[in-house]
Amino acid sequence: MKILWDNIVKTATITHSSENASYDWDTALLDPRLSRVGKFTGKTSEWLKFAFTSPKSVDYVALLGHNISADALITLSGNNTDSWGSPSFTQYIYPDGITSIPDYDAVGNFKNTKRVDGKIYQDVTASRYGFAPAEYFLYGEGHYGDSTYWPGSIYESIYLDMESYSEITWNAIGDINIQFRDSADGSTWTAWSSAISTTTSDRRSKVYRYLQYRLIFVYPTWEDTTSYFELLSPLQEDKNIIIDNITRAAYKYWLITIADPVSSETVIEIANVFLGTALTMPGMEVSKIIAKKTNSEYIKSITGQIYGNESVKLKYAEIPFRNVENDDKAAVQTFNDECDIITPFICLIWENDLLIEEPIYCNLVEPINFSKENSLTWSFNMKIEECK
């Protein structure tokens, strides 16, 4: 479990590409209510910049209470100077939940790939045999004689983080075969699957968190604008939270850029931004229920008829922690003291597999109280309730 509570946005100097005066960013991003949003005046090229007097560490970014579409292009950049021609750090953040492994060299290099409605369209119309599309690495090649590239050259994709999806479908039209392999950690990989024919569609369930595919271009002309991946069973029922984990880095300036030109909305709005480092909670007991807590009310007449007012249904959980060592207790105590029961935070109950439970924006229902188990360890229960 990870808790995102220590938000450096609260101490930042915030600037922006544009602002609706009635929905200003300084007010919205410091208000814990997701009903209070900030708004840009457009949607095609907008940004929020967060400046600090000294470098601030970040390993998680989240956008909450937004109207950003699944086709938006979002980047997070970091730099120690307010100059953005070639920042020290850049990572793409994908609203549909597919992200590249953060520290991979080619992160975000999707020059020939279109992302529309949860599909990744592979466009290699302009490619020629012997030249891979820009987002692929040469895996192997052959030759006719001494000079001509073998038309069946194989190219590997970058790695994809598939924690947000449980199934993937390959629909191919054109002279392309495909293979998949999987990894639990992005380092140790399964064997490549058998090549899937261009004349078939293949649906496969998620195996591990990370996925890599490689394409086998069968003929010299790789014209194919209609092959695509279709990603099924999206992670977040509540699409109001876009969240991503990055390799921890520290910079004086952090910049979020958003381009969402195909959105049906006229302007981009965001209620809250989290930038900061996560609190890793001590091991929790597995026997827990993420329940729904309702604010609805009802009464019954003396003859048994029910009358009620339906209200919002909120997630609620009580999570036990046992065998907590002193250092972990101190970190949890700091979180407890700073947030109290009035400051919301983001809870990632199973951060390595968000298919199990989506991120929860919540608050502590009551202060955390620790019990001494023995001379070395402590125990406590944490009660949380969803916020809107």
Domain parsing of the chain, residue ranges: 1-97+237-277, 100-234, 281-386
The arithmetic mean of pLDDT across residues 181-197, rounded, is 73
Inform me whether the pLDDT recorded for 55 exceeds 50. Answer: yes
147-161, 211-225, 266-280, 311-325: range with highest mean pLDDT: 266-280
**In which band, very low, low, confident or very high, does the pLDDT at 382 lie, cut at 50, 70 and 90?**
very high
Q: Pick 1-97+237-277's CATH classification: 2.60.120.260, 1.10.287.610, 3.90.950.10, 3.40.50.1980.
A: 2.60.120.260
Residues 102-108 have a mean pLDDT of 28
**pLDDT for the residue 217:** 54
Rounded CA separation 76/90 (Å) = 6
**What's the mean pLDDT in 202-210?**
61
Q: With residue 328 as reference, give the H or E element that holds it.
A: helix 326-339
Q: What is the pLDDT of residue 30?
A: 95
Q: Which helix (H) or strand (E) holds 27?
A: helix 25-29
Residue 331, SS3 per DSSP: helix
- Rounded-to-integer distance, Cα 326 and Cα 331, Å: 9
Domains 100-234 and 281-386 agree in fold: no
Query: How many Å apart are CA 125 and CA 138, to the nearest integer?
Result: 18
Per-residue pLDDT at 192: 74
Does residue 373 contact residue 323 with C-beta atoms inside 8 Å? yes
Q: Tens digits of per-residue pLDDT, 294-336?
A: 777 878 888 888 888 887 788 888 899 999 999 999 999 999 9
pLDDT at 295: 73
Average pLDDT estimate for 337-351: 93
- Residue-wise pLDDT for 139-155, tens only, equals 333 332 333 333 333 44
User: Mind listing the pLDDT tens digit for each residue in 10-46?
Assistant: 999 999 999 999 999 999 999 999 999 999 999 999 9
Name the pLDDT band for 162 (thresholds 50, 70, 90).
low
- Residue 179: how many other CB atoms lie within 10 Å: 18
CATH code reported for the domain at 281-386: 2.40.30
Q: How long, in residues, is the chain?
A: 388
* Lookup result for tokens 């949890």: 332
pLDDT digits (tens, 9 = 90+) for 230-271: 443 333 334 578 888 888 999 999 999 999 888 889 999 999
pTM above 0.75, yes or no: no
- Mean per-residue pLDDT over the chain, rounded: 75
Q: Which of 44-58, 78-92, 108-122 has the lowest mean pLDDT?
A: 108-122
CB 256 within 8 A of CB 84: no
Residue that wins the pLDDT comparison between 212 and 164? 212
Residue 81 has pLDDT above 90, yes or no: yes
Report pLDDT for 136. Answer: 39
Confirm if 88 and 80 have CB atoms less than 8 A apart.
yes
pLDDT of amino acid 177: 64
The first and second tokens of residue 6, run together, are 């220590």
For position 15, what pLDDT does the model report? 98
Beta bridge partners of 9: none
Tell me if residue 338 falls in helix, strand or coil: helix
Fold of 100-234: Jelly Rolls (2.60.120)
| pLDDT of 205 | 58
pLDDT given for residue 70 in this prediction: 73
